[in-house]
Structure 1
């Protein structure tokens, strides 16, 4: 089961999506949730993971945070999960090329 909470940010409205295990996704305002694996979804503005995600994003947008400390619920193939784990390990302010990520995984 997935829960969602819409939030307003400096980059537009976002839809936070989480399971009880962690944050599963962040969708842009006009993203079609049917294109994701996060179905079905129930709105829950009081879900603790969604509340914490909103708080940390607010801190990020004000410049008070550069690293996120959230449980993540990766939904995908084993290969996709390896890629996402490599991506979240990139330090703030640094970049990696596709070939660098490929070598890491």
Structure 2
């Protein structure tokens, strides 16, 4: 597996590639360093990783609204259904967890939607930051990174309430 680092307005973003696919995006140094040791990651700017950095640069500078990258993550069929629904949320729009649960035809699965959202290994590329509380409040992002979520929502012009 290969990785590269993109310096974004939200901090360092570690992008991991395996077999020509972006397989993970990480924001924290400590978990990344652990993963780097365990998975024997090699720092290399492959064509896929260069393209990912280019597209992130365009996104953070307001020139890209849709990512076009080879993405791959594995999860349960339920998680994959949620990630597909997240990918369909347009730039500049948001949905609540309840909206996503209804969209997939399982309105009582609000908490499960939240858990699948949290397990998204490809944040930003699969825009889980666009999921906010029904009252437009910020909820957890990549675990607890609501400050990062706020930056991404502001970048896209999505209104939200900070509590």
TM-score by length of 2: 0.55
Counterparts of 1:57 and 1:65, CA distance in 2 = 8
Would you say 1:25 and 2:24 are equivalent positions? yes
Q: How many residues align?
A: 102
Q: Compute the displacement of 1:31 (Å).
A: 4.8
Is the alpha carbon distance of 1:34 and 1:43 closer, same or farther for their aligned partners in structure 2, counting shifts above 3 Å? closer
Higher relative strand content? 1
Q: Compute the displacement of 1:28 (Å).
A: 0.6
Higher relative helix content? 2
Q: Compute the displacement of 1:35 (Å).
A: 8.4
String of CA shifts for 1:70-98, please: whole Å, max 9, x gaps: 11102222211111111011000111111
The secondary structure found in structure 2 opposite 1:32 is helix
The secondary structure found in structure 2 opposite 1:23 is strand
Bigger Cα Rg? 2
String of CA shifts for 1:17-68, please: whole Å, max 9, x gaps: 12224211210132514888xx624224222221110000001111111111
**Alpha carbon RMSD of aligned pairs, Å?**
2.2
1:45 corresponds to: 44
Query: How do 1:26-105 and structure 2 match up within 5 A?
Result: 26-33=25-32, 40-105=39-104
Provide structure 2 residue ranges, at least 5 long, that are not aligned to the other structure. 105-163
TM-score by length of 1: 0.82
Is the alpha carbon distance of 1:41 and 1:54 closer, same or farther for their aligned partners in structure 2, counting shifts above 3 Å? farther
The answer as to whether partners of 2:5 and 2:15 remain within 8 angstroms in 1 is yes
